[in-house]
Structure 1
């Protein structure tokens, strides 16, 4: 049996992609390809240093999905991980990777999920609502934003003195702590 090949899709800095690639239990059993919807010289250099393939996608959402599907098929990708990828994934990719495509969301779903709820928008909404806790949700991807089967959730307390930046930092710490391990369990058990 071939080892798992993970396509990590990013739209931002790639911090979660770096953590997954550097996570020893994943690195020793899986291979990676990083697909970015934005120019990212830093993650490209990171991938080059590790002899990993990095590809930049271009075009509108439909064109991106065509590229993702083609690349994943050509590269024999077994799993797709959305790590800050901000584009909608096509129903065809979701169907072809059912139960093998995972996303991380910066809130405790179902709260603060859906179209337009990503990154700082989520943290601002959590702050504005006066929530006393927030967290991360790692879930399978479905045709509806942020409504796939929940694989794991981790929470953190928000104090009354926390501002949006502090909330965001607390959530990032949860991502750093838990996301690579959950991906490992999802991909290899």
Structure 2
């Protein structure tokens, strides 16, 4: 029997990215072992409905210590799925190339501090870009600066509002996140095979 591929998902919002993973969990052959949330949010409700363990962080306590304590040792991948806090350097270093994030732009464009949600699509449309899109990338100690894993571009439809464009990008982001998890699981499996031989 294959070794399970264990995911920890971190979220701050409604849990749309989390739901995309839940919906493909069997197909991906992954196990979501824990949801970490920095506030009470819809993602917690989604996790509880699926019997996924939940850890809600205490905003008054040290974020790095809480994350280091909460993340199980047998975790294969940590997925930031709309998680707003910046992951502390100590966590990034311990879990190097094991933390991924989604971002609603074609990084390195429209990333960094303050660039999230509808703000990204407003900036894309203000700049009259031909393409919008999304990125899945590794997390490092910067903001949206980690190595890019996958990207998906879509044409910008200027008859839409930034909110509506964001909705289209979010649909693609959910698909891209699932593809990235599948890709990283495959890479981990191949690396394990090489070590065994």
Normalized against structure 1, the TM-score is what? 0.89
Report the Cα offset of residue 108 of structure 1. 0.3
* CA–CA distance in structure 2, aligned partners of residues 111 and 98 of structure 1: 23
Question: How do residues 89-168 of structure 1 correspond to structure 2 at under 5 angstroms?
Answer: 89-168=87-166
Shift >6 Å, 4+ stretches: none
* CA–CA distance in structure 2, aligned partners of residues 10 and 166 of structure 1: 22
SS in 1 for 2:78: strand
The answer to whether the 8 Å contact 1:6/1:32 transfers is yes
1:25 aligned partner: 27
SS in 1 for 2:133: strand
Closer/same/farther in 2, CA of residues 165 and 29 from structure 1, 3 Å limit: closer
Q: Which moved more, 1:113-122 or 1:29-38?
A: 29-38
* CA–CA distance in structure 1, aligned partners of residues 109 and 19 of structure 2: 27
1:65 aligned partner: 64
The answer to whether the 8 Å contact 2:11/2:43 transfers is no
Q: How large is the RMSD of aligned CA atoms in angstroms?
A: 1.8
SS in 2 for 1:30: strand
1:36 aligned partner: 37
1:52 aligned partner: 52
* CA–CA distance in structure 1, aligned partners of residues 186 and 27 of structure 2: 10
2:195 aligned partner: none
Question: Mind listing any 5+ residue stretches in structure 2 that lack a counterpart?
Answer: 188-197
Cα deviations across residues 150-169 of structure 1 (Å, max 9, x unaligned)?
Answer: 00000000123222122111
Cα deviations across residues 98-137 of structure 1 (Å, max 9, x unaligned)?
Answer: 1111000000011100111111111111121111211001
SS in 2 for 1:138: strand
Report the Cα offset of residue 146 of structure 1. 0.9
Normalized against structure 2, the TM-score is what? 0.86
Closer/same/farther in 2, CA of residues 95 and 174 from structure 1, 3 Å limit: same
2:183 aligned partner: 185
